Amino acid sequence: TITVLLISCWENDKTTDALKLENTLVKDNKITEILKKKPVMYGKAESFDFNFLEEKEVKKFNITMIVMSADMTCTAEAKLCEEISSFIGGNKLVFSSSEEYALIEEESPEYRMMQKGTIEINDNTYGGTLYYNGKGNNEVVSFHGKLIFDLPSVKLLKGEPLIIEIKGKK
């Protein structure tokens, strides 16, 4: 009975996992390898929302939402670009996250933070990760990052994740 009770309590604790990520140093060679891959697409955030974590000069913040136009630059081969464009169908991509950022190991100075979240395209939702750096103050905030997620509907990706490099300024 005690074992069952402990397992039951452990299951209920999953909702606090996001909070435990706060300021955790993530050290994973897979992340480093993924971040070395070239992006398939480049885009700008039409808009984004964030939460400050420091008051004066902002270097760390949670990105809670990014809205991207379907009008992105594709750098892959033409057939892959056409398939992705056809799938997106001119609709916006929306990344949202309610998690705290986690810090990435020193080997990736270009992207110091990561956040897991969801990407919505055409009423379909996909799990993904945003790797980013940001800076700013009380008046202007900007970020640069890579949004990486699996898009199984696009066959020419051949099981590889879709990598979108994105910039935003507010």
The model's pTM is 0.79
User: How does 57-94 read in b/e, with b if 16+ C-beta sit within 10 Å?
Assistant: ebeebbbbebbbebebebebeeebbebbeebbeeeebb
Q: Name the region of 23 (left: φ>0; alpha: ψ -120 to 50; beta: rest).
A: left
Q: Each residue of 70-117: pLDDT tens digit?
A: 999 999 999 999 999 999 999 999 999 998 888 876 556 688 889 999
pLDDT class of 31 with cuts at 50, 70, 90: confident
